[in-house]
Amino acid sequence: MRTMAIVAFACVVTAIGALANESHTHRERTWVAPAAVDSMQNPLKNRPETGAGGQKLFRQRCSICHADDGTGAKPGPNLMLRRVQQQSDGAFFWKISSGNTRTGMPGFSFLPRLQRWQLVKHLRSLAEPTQPRMLSPAKTKR
Amino acid sequence: MFVRWCVGLALLLVICFISPTSAQDRAYFVTYDHYLEEPGNLEIAVATTTGMPKRDQPAYTAPWLELEYGLTGWWTGELYLEGVTTRGNGDAFTGWRFENRFRPLKSEHRINPVIYVEYENINEASRIQKEIVGAGGLEFDPIAELKDEHAHELEVKLILSSAVGDWNVAENLIVERNLSKSEGFEFGYALGVSRPLGTIASGTSCRFCRENVRLGAELYGGLGSSVEFARSEQRHFLAPVVNWNLGNRISVKASVGFGLTDTTDRYLLRFGLAYEFPVRSR
């Protein structure tokens, strides 16, 4: 009887958690990195050979929420937006490292620092207008 | 039967090569760090603990199945089913555990606390040793007798974990209470350090790159209880660990735990295989 009660309690708690998750992503619209991180410089800025690794990491770790081309998927925001790209490299690095448990954005501080900087470098390359990017078939005009 | 079922599931996981996303990078078997399961992700894992006792007791293998689900960004729930098989001493299903991990802080800090609460409905034949608490060695009576001694236990951990450069450093303080009989509060600990081998990601897709391998070590053990606190009865293990992210959402990990006291097994060999995939949009 006691076991059944505990199992029932666990199920109720789990259901409440699932419901809480449905609504929490809309609660926090602004997420601002500390001003102190704006002065951080990307150590890989002048190492173009590291760009492909950043793209691979992005596909492995980020594209499930932000789409392969960074234009966003539920619930990850569009990373091409001006208000996103206006942030400093340091802010990107801080957000990738820290995550945000309230929005569901995982923290990636388990990745080595240089890999996180590779991700920052790739985020910047997404918004570069001169760089030709492959369009996904669904978005290609025929 | 349970062992065969776990082996079958492991084979199923190996052949499930579906998409290029990564599996989790947790290297430890016993120690917990502050990284929770991503919300909406389910991780299915099978693992075994094989014990080589010091004296003439029979060796044993304890497999377990682990279902870990990210409920929210700050809450991960996990269900375990576990068994045991021994050389000539019987085998059995040894129970289930339901655990929850809560991360109270919104973002990363120098030290990141996580609260862990687990209910265990197991029996005395349990050998997986996901944590070690209290004092004294394992009981080596026939499994058929041990499995009839049921235990309802509540376990709480304070998990403290930090990213220090490219290293992870994690400390767990464990308190367990047997709700079935009066054993007082039992205490244990786990400490872990790990880091990836490669610090920069290569541009090619590769399984054998250094960046896919994480090495570390964990130290864990039981300290005693509020009823008995004898240093000679404590159990401590030191275990190097390795985690290999195979890509395609699959990772494997292994460790060899060396028993450091008289009451420990000589070795604890652990092997785990995990497969992680999204079951709902986040």
Long-range contact pairs involving A15-23 (C-beta distance under 8 Å, separation at least 24) = A17/B71, A17/B72, A17/B75, A17/B77, A18/B71, A20/B71, A20/B72, A21/A104, A21/B39, A21/B40, A21/B71, A21/B72, A21/B73, A21/B282
Cα separation, A59 vs A68, whole angstroms: 6
Cis, bond preceding A75 (omega within 30 deg of 0):
yes
Residues of A in contact with B75 (CB under 8 A): 17
CA distance, residue A141 to nearest chain B CA (Å): 27
Same domain, A83 and A122: yes
Cβ contact, residue pair A17, B278, below 8 Å: no
Helix H or strand E encompassing B213: strand B213-225
Beta-carbon pairs below 8 A across chains A and B: 125
pLDDT tens readout for residues A81-133:
998 999 999 999 999 999 999 999 999 999 999 999 999 999 999 887 654 44
CA atoms of A97 and B106, how far apart (whole Å):
12
Number of domains present in the structure of chain A? 2
Scanning every residue of chain B, which has its alpha carbon at the shortest distance from the alpha carbon of A113? B166
In chain B, which residues have their Cβ closer than 8 Å to the Cβ of A74? 281-282
Please indicate, yes or no, whether residues A49 and A80 belong to a single structural domain of this protein.
Answer: yes
Provide the pLDDT for residue B253.
97
List chain A residues with CB under 8 Å of B199. 112-115
ipTM: 0.86
Q: What is the CATH number of the domain that holds A86?
A: 1.10.760.10
List, as one string, the DSSP characters of B105-163.
SSS--SSEEEEEEEEEEEETT----SS--SSS----S-HHHHTTSEEEEEEEEEEEEEE
Q: Is the pLDDT of residue A1 over 70?
A: no
Q: Are A52 and B203 inside 8 Å of each other by CB? A: yes
pLDDT at residue B63 tops 80: yes
| Residue at token pair 């002048």 | A46
**B147 touches A at CB < 8 Å:** no
Q: Give domain status of residue A97, yes or no.
A: yes
Shortest Cα–Cα distance, A66 to chain B (Å): 11
User: Which residue is associated with the tokens 């060396």?
Assistant: B258
Is residue B218 over pLDDT 80? Answer: yes
Q: Nearest-CA residue of chain A relative to B151?
A: A3
The residue range of the domain holding A26 is 1-30
pLDDT of residue A3: 57
> Quick one: A45 and A114 in the same domain?
yes
Q: Cβ–Cβ of B35/A107 closer than 8 Å?
A: yes
pTM, rounded to two decimals: 0.86
Q: What confidence tens digit (pLDDT) does each residue in B9-49 have?
A: 554 554 444 444 555 578 899 999 999 999 999 999 999 99
Contacts of B119 in chain A (CB under 8 A): 6, 10
Say yes or no: A91 and A51 in one domain: yes
Q: How far apart are CA B123 and CA B95, in angstroms?
A: 6
Distance, in Å, from the CA atom of B31 to the CA atom of B20, rounded to the nearest integer, reads: 27
A32-54 per-position pLDDT tens digit:
999 999 999 999 999 999 999 99
Q: Give the contacts of B93 (CB within 8 A, at least 6 positions apart).
A: B1, B2, B81, B82, B83, B147
Same domain? A22 vs A41? no
Q: Does some domain include residue A137?
A: no
Residues of chain B contacting A9 with CB distance shorter than 8 Å: none
Distance CA B282, CA B273 (A): 25
Test B119 with A10 for CB contact under 8 angstroms.
yes
Tell me which chain A residues have a C-beta less than 8 angstroms from the C-beta of B195: 112
Cβ distance A24 to B72 less than 8 Å, yes or no, reads: yes
Taking CB atoms and an 8 Å cutoff, what residues of chain A touch B163?
97, 109-110
Q: What angle do CA A45, B206, A57 make, to 5 degrees?
A: 40
pLDDT score of B32: 98
pLDDT value, residue A23: 44
Identify whether residues A44 and A101 lie together within a single domain.
Answer: yes
Please identify which residue in the block is written with the tokens 């070690």.
B132
The domain covering B2-278 belongs, at the CATH homologous superfamily level, to monomeric porin ompg (2.40.160.40)
A141 lies in a domain? no
Q: What is the number of other CB atoms lying within 10 angstroms of the CB of residue B67?
A: 13
Q: What is the pLDDT of residues B125-156, one digit of tens each?
A: 999 999 999 988 888 888 999 999 999 999 99
Per the listing, tokens 């890989």 go with A44
Helix (H) or strand (E) holding B185: strand B185-196
CB A80 within 8 A of CB A58: no
- Which token pair is B8? 């079958």
Closest CB from B100, B166, B247 relative to A113: B166
The pLDDT value recorded for residue B140 is: 84
CB contact under 8 A, B72 and A21: yes
Counting every residue written for chain B, the total comes to 282
Q: Are strands B91-102 and B150-164 parallel, antiparallel or unpaired?
A: unpaired
Residues A46 and A25 grouped into a single domain: no
CA torsion through residues B28, B31, B32, B34, sign: negative
